[in-house]
Amino acid sequence: MTDDQPRLQLLTRAGCHLCEVAAETLARVAADAGLEPVAVDVDADPELQAEYGDRVPVVLLDGREHSYFTVDVDRLRRDLERHP
């Protein structure tokens, strides 16, 4: 992870109901950890769209794929506690 890269990112796209639910869930988990997730539109970046476009929403933690379609809340909390 680079210093300017957010710890938590949510790869999303407009009109995605699962993305809206994931964003709400991720916001709650992130707030508990003192973080603010950043939403990234996969359709704005051809590379992201090619890699993740068929699996949105995707949660990235420290630049690595953590979960997709839903937020794995328990696992994410554990991983955030282990690597603050």
Contact 12, 42 (CB under 8 A): yes
pLDDT at 84: 66
Q: Which residue has the higher pLDDT, 42 or 84?
A: 42
Evaluate if residue 80 carries a pLDDT over 50.
Answer: yes
Give the model confidence (pLDDT) of 6-37 as tens digits.
899 999 999 999 999 999 999 999 999 999 99
Tokens of 46: 């051809």
Burial class of 44 by CB neighbour count within 10 A (0 to 12, 13 to 18, 19+): exposed
Q: Which residues pair with 60 in a beta bridge?
A: 9, 65
For 72, phi then psi, to 5°, come to -80, 85
Evaluate if residue 1 carries a pLDDT over 60.
Answer: no
Q: How many CB atoms lie within 10 A of CB 80?
A: 20
The amino acid at 49: Q
